[in-house]
A and B are shown apart, each in its own frame.
Chain A
Amino acid sequence: MRRIISATVLNESGVLNRLTGLLTKRQFNIENITVGHTEDPAVSKVTLTVWVEDDRKAEQLVKQLHKQINILKVRDLTNMALVSRELALIKVLTTPDTRSEIKMLIEPFRATVLDVSLENVTLEVTGDSEKVDALIELLRPYGIKEISRTGLTAIPRGTQKKVLELHPYSIM
């Protein structure tokens, strides 16, 4: 199953290397990973999407990450109420005929046009991964020249329903 893991890490050289190295060593396959600053300049936030077989493997992943000296906090966000977003830049081939059609098509996605040339347009779309996927599928028939996606970043919602709460590992 797909898991979204968030790790708060010290903003030090090597920390990302340690984190990804650990995943490789333990045979976890990273689907995507985003890293960025947080409200504290000494701390960065890493959001990972990984495929794991079962809960035990997921627990193992969280615990192995947590063990690293420069990783401060690890959370499995998978079963939490989340706000998650991804940004994609999509370059689509256009002809004078399709240009306005594409414009209409992207409107419900609140995608915006960033760049226009004679042969193509570059669009920006933000949303959860499913929304980004859906737009890409819609645009595919026109001919997609290039896509660049940031990968998912996420934050738990302010209020969590009790039942949705991640069952806390009894041992952490």
Chain B
Amino acid sequence: MKASWVAEQKTVESSLVSGAELFIQGLQNEKVDVVFGYPGGAVLPIYDALYKAEMKHVLTRHEQGAIHAAQGYARVTGKPGVVLATSGPGATNLVTGIADAMIDSIPLVIFTGQVATKVIGTDAFQEADIVGITMPITKHNYQVQKAEDLPRIMKEAFHIANTGRKGPVLIDIPKDIAVNQAPLKEVSDLHLPGYQPTMKPNILQVKRLNEALQVAKKPVLLTGAGVLAARAEEELLAFAEYYQIPVVQTLLGLGGFPADHPLCYGMAGMHGTYAANMALYDCDLLIGIGARFDDRLTGNLDHFAKKAVVAHIDIDPAEIGKNIPTEIPIVGCAKETLKALNQTQGEKSNFNDWVIQLSKYRSELPLTYKSNEKELKPQKLMEILHEVTKGAAIVSTDVGQHQMWAAQYYTFSTSNRWITSGGLGTMGFGFPAAIGAKVGRPDLPVIAVVGDGGFQMTLQELGVLQDWELPVIVVIVNNKSLGMVRQWQEIFYEKRYSHSLLDIQPDFVKLAAAYGIEGKRAENEEEVREALEAALSSKKPFVLDCAVTADENVYPMIAPGKGLHEMIGVRG
């Protein structure tokens, strides 16, 4: 806390302010620069205080838009996203985003209004038990009982959200609490006896891992979002390079290790590369860092890393041993642990044969698709995106086939450029998350890669682009279908396309125009390239509706119940 602020606080100690003003003060203490929200009855006192404080507030067109925007903001800035919504329906509209942030460990502090304390429990107008509803999907949550508790609760909430394994924290504020007067005073130190995340690793286990590397012949590093959350990219690079260990990444971990590095074998899992999956299948030492061995990554556990000694580095002890038995458990932050590993390095080993084998897989069985002059292939679209943005844009995706193609073909060589809904797989996430990312990083081009299905779940946020003239480029990967569902129906349900074809669609270009946003429909590579270049240089919002091959499938693929070595469609 800055000295000036402390001094100022002491002088005003005796003065009383409203709960809403304490809220503003709390935001300022945490250096919050933007709130994503939507007003309503129960938060009127708070919105009044916001108005007077001139706090930057992005009014989305739906609470779901607000929370996904806050998620996108948090992903690219590393700061907690702040969300504000009213009681009842405002609060319940946040639920999807809260669950999404919980499972993907995104730091958020969410404020909801609540009915006045004296009517809580009477089924009052717009009353919903949001604390009860969100208990299993928040890292922690609070209902404020007294205005004077608010500063302490806010300080705790920001701390909890953005330390340890990050996640969403919700604070429910009854309307009268926002009005009630309480002293404006500085918050003493945090007192959270039940919350002490382990940052530094147990040095004995670190030693065991270095020793395991001495005897291993086929080690592999599996890196996840934990590397990005801890900003441990440099330490990871140093570690991998010192021992020359091949690296594979989870969907959420993309960008944590440069895609163009010779030791990078790409994404593993259901739609991962052949080399990455075979590395996990064949390895004799698996080092997981900040990844949680989710079922979309592991495939059938009976075939996952069966020959390997498993080492798992994670800040959350409950992740270790949860899905796979772990011989070398290391609880700690990825950065601290990699630092410790780098400081206690053993002899360099020789993993040449292994590296050569994987590199052979990489060059002989790369990701591939059948190009076709007459059609715009979605994979090609991603390659063009990479080319035109020189791989430097922030890419935020929705959920479905386009998400997998973006993960496979955009290739990230810089960290914190990739935003996607991994654990929950939330359609409607990508576009609002891109808005939040642009608010957080106005200096970088931001592209929302969305499906024609998912975009229609949150496209009302075009209003925000118009309102703020935010130069987000929306790229609709338009296959006139709920492509991922259609693909599964094609492969596993004998082409019975039950409710997955979207033949009837709005004219997305006209839709953009209705919001005063420029748009274009692109039917081939040239049109895509041209439109993108124009959009990037115009520094204005843009909607690009891309007519891609409608029946294209995402390959390679590991069918449900199959092992990592049983990929289908490896040759496209």
Contacts and interface: CB of A to CB of B under 8 A. Distances in A.
- B and A form one assembly: yes
Interface of A: 9-10, 13-14, 17-18, 21-22, 25, 56, 59-60, 63-64, 66-72, 169-172
A69 B329 contact: no
Given A25-B136, A70-B140, A72-B194, 14 more contacts: A9-B194, A14-B131, A14-B141, A56-B325, A59-B321, A60-B318, A64-B318, A67-B316, A69-B194, A170-B202, A171-B202, A171-B329, A171-B331, A172-B331
Interface in B335-366: none
Given A17-B135, A60-B321, A171-B202, A69 B160 contact: yes
A22 B139 CA distance: 12
B510 interface: no
A10 B194 CA distance: 8
Nearest to B156: A69
Given A56-B325, A60-B322, A72-B194, A171 B135 contact: no
A172 B192 CA distance: 18
B330 interface: yes
B209 to A, nearest CB: 13
B280 to A, nearest CB: 21
Given A59-B321, A64-B318, A170 B193 contact: no
Contacts of B205: 170-171
B419 interface: no
Contacts of A169: 317
Contacts of B329: 170-171
Contacts of A22: 136
A66 B317 contact: yes
A171 B317 contact: yes
Interface of B: 131-132, 135-136, 139-141, 143, 160, 192-195, 202, 205, 316-318, 320-322, 325, 329-331
Nearest to B195: A69
Contacts of B318: 60, 63-64, 66-67
B543 to A, nearest CB: 40
Given A63-B318, A67-B316, A171 B330 contact: yes
Contact of A171 (B131, B193, B320): B320
Given A60-B322, A63-B318, A170-B205, A21 B192 contact: no
B163 to A, nearest CB: 11
B76 to A, nearest CB: 27
- Pick from B131, B193, B318, B321 the residue with the most CB of A within 10 Å: B318
25 contacts: A9-B194, A10-B194, A13-B143, A14-B135, A14-B141, A21-B135, A21-B136, A22-B136, A56-B321, A59-B321, A67-B316, A67-B317, A67-B318, A68-B194, A69-B140, A69-B192, A70-B140, A71-B194, A72-B193, A170-B202, A171-B202, A171-B205, A171-B320, A171-B329, A171-B330
Nearest to A60: B322
Nearest to A59: B321
Nearest to A43: B193
A48 B19 CA distance: 39
Contacts of A59: 321
A69 B321 contact: no
Shortest Cβ-Cβ A-B pairs, 10 listed: A63-B318, A171-B329, A69-B140, A72-B194, A171-B331, A69-B195, A171-B317, A64-B318, A25-B136, A63-B317
A64 B317 CA distance: 9
Contacts of A72: 193-194
Nearest to B314: A171
A164 to B, nearest CB: 23
A42 to B, nearest CB: 9
Contact of B317 (A13, A18, A172): A172
Contacts of A14: 131, 135, 141, 143
A10 B142 CA distance: 14
B226 to A, nearest CB: 15
Contacts of A70: 140, 194
A9 B318 CA distance: 18
A113 to B, nearest CB: 41
Nearest to B318: A63
A14 B141 CA distance: 9
B36 to A, nearest CB: 24
A45 to B, nearest CB: 14
A86 B396 CA distance: 56
Contacts of B139: 69
A66 B165 CA distance: 13
Contacts of B202: 170-171
Nearest to B145: A13
A127 B160 CA distance: 42
A71 B318 CA distance: 14
Contacts of A68: 140, 194
Task: Determine which residue in A63, A64, A171 has the highest number of CB atoms from chain B within 10 A of its CB, and name it.
Answer: A171
B166 to A, nearest CB: 13
A89 B401 CA distance: 61
A168 to B, nearest CB: 12
Contacts of B330: 171
A66 to B, nearest CB: 7
Contact of B135 (A10, A18, A170): A18
Nearest to B329: A171
A40 B15 CA distance: 34
Contacts of A64: 318
Nearest to B328: A170
A60 B193 CA distance: 21
A13 B136 CA distance: 15
Contacts of B160: 69
Nearest to B164: A67
Nearest to A13: B143
Nearest to A15: B194
B383 to A, nearest CB: 41
Contacts of B331: 171-172
Nearest to A65: B318
A71 B202 CA distance: 23
Nearest to B160: A69
Nearest to B325: A56
Contacts of B321: 56, 59-60
B524 to A, nearest CB: 49
B310 to A, nearest CB: 13
Nearest to A55: B321
Contacts of B136: 21-22, 25
Contacts of A10: 193-194
Contacts of A18: 135
Contacts of A17: 132, 135
A10 B140 CA distance: 13
B309 to A, nearest CB: 15
A19 to B, nearest CB: 10
B152 to A, nearest CB: 13
